Amino acid sequence: MPSDFNEPGLKRRKRKSGPDILYWVARADLVKAGYRPETVRLPYTEDDESHRNLISAACMRFQAEMLEWSSGRKRELNRFDGTILGLSRRYQTDEASPFKRLKHSTRQKDTYTLALIEKAFGTRSLAALKIDDFYRWYGAAKKPREAGGQERVRRAYGIIKKLREMLAFGIMAELPECKRLYDVLHHARFSQPARRRVSMELSHAEAFIAKAIEMGRLSLGRGDDLRIWDSQQG
């Protein structure tokens, strides 16, 4: 068979004697995404000219099945059912989403907030939401962990902030109801967490470095460690 006979996915494995063994091999990126089978051995040989059409037909069939799977998977990833859960999943999986460009540490934090949103009201339809819903969710989220405890305003405000970001993405993705709800939240007002009252001063830095020297931990005096310490105050 001519060496230029190259059907999609067709691969050859040479043997010490006899004709090459023929395989159809799926695309590596789709195998990584979960497609199976990864390889299929073809019961034909290149030495037999009558097998040419059979090899071609087999490769075309396996290739078509793989591409059909790929198309369905992409549709599933981008599917939007009109709920908050659907918006959240689209926000996390769409390659055009700003979520994909977040730093790893920020993405971890956002994933936690998104999980809270999905669990609490993921089944709610965007079309049915009103401003009262958002105020009610905010109020429930800021309730103290235990009676008499401190209100969790930072947690509640973080949820509202993330909802705004999700809806902003939804507008860019041209998803229904996102523009309406984004406008609703744009005009709504929610109490923000109090600003940090303690900031690092020279005396703090000097005390920190002195303690590091006393402990024999000179590396703690680096700028990165000082910034981490500063971020944990207040």
The average pLDDT across 60-70 equals 89
| Diameter over CA atoms, the chain | 87
In this predicted structure, the answer to whether residue 1 has a pLDDT above a threshold of 70 is: no
In this predicted structure, the answer to whether residue 76 has a pLDDT above a threshold of 90 is: no
In this predicted structure, the answer to whether residue 233 has a pLDDT above a threshold of 80 is: no
Any bridge partners for residue 125, and if so which?
A: 83
User: Buried b / exposed e across 46-82, counting CB within 10 Å, b at 16+?
Assistant: beeeebeeebeebbeebbeebeebbeeeeeeeeebee
**What's the rounded Cα separation, in Å, for the pair 35 and 43?**
22
The answer to whether residues 90 and 173 touch, using CB atoms and an 8 Å cutoff, is yes
Q: What is the pLDDT of residues 27-52, one digit of tens each?
A: 998 888 778 889 999 999 888 889 98
Other Cβ atoms less than 10 A from the Cβ of 196: the count is: 10
Residue 227 confidence (pLDDT): 47
For the entire predicted model, the pTM comes to 0.54
The average pLDDT across 150-164 equals 95
| Mean pLDDT, all residues of the chain | 84
In this predicted structure, the answer to whether residue 147 has a pLDDT above a threshold of 90 is: no
Please report which helix (H) or strand (E) contains residue 216, including its range: none
In this predicted structure, the answer to whether residue 148 has a pLDDT above a threshold of 70 is: yes
All residues at 6 or more sequence positions from 211 whose CB lies less than 8 Å from its CB, including other chains: none
**What's the rounded Cα separation, in Å, for the pair 77 and 145?**
35
**Residue 160 CA to its chain's centroid (Å):** 19
**What's the rounded Cα separation, in Å, for the pair 122 and 83?**
7
Of 70-79, 130-139, 186-195, the range with the lowest mean pLDDT is: 70-79
Of 39-43, 109-113, 180-184, 211-215, the range with the lowest mean pLDDT is: 211-215
| Nearest Cα residue to 61 out of 42, 46, 83, 87 | 42
**What's the rounded Cα separation, in Å, for the pair 170 and 105?**
23
**What's the rounded Cα separation, in Å, for the pair 84 and 119?**
10
Residue 177 confidence (pLDDT): 96
In this predicted structure, the answer to whether residue 53 has a pLDDT above a threshold of 70 is: yes
Any bridge partners for residue 22, and if so which?
A: 12, 42
The average pLDDT across 131-145 equals 95
All residues at 6 or more sequence positions from 232 whose CB lies less than 8 Å from its CB, including other chains: none
Other Cβ atoms less than 10 A from the Cβ of 163: the count is: 24
Residue 197 confidence (pLDDT): 56
Residue 224 confidence (pLDDT): 46
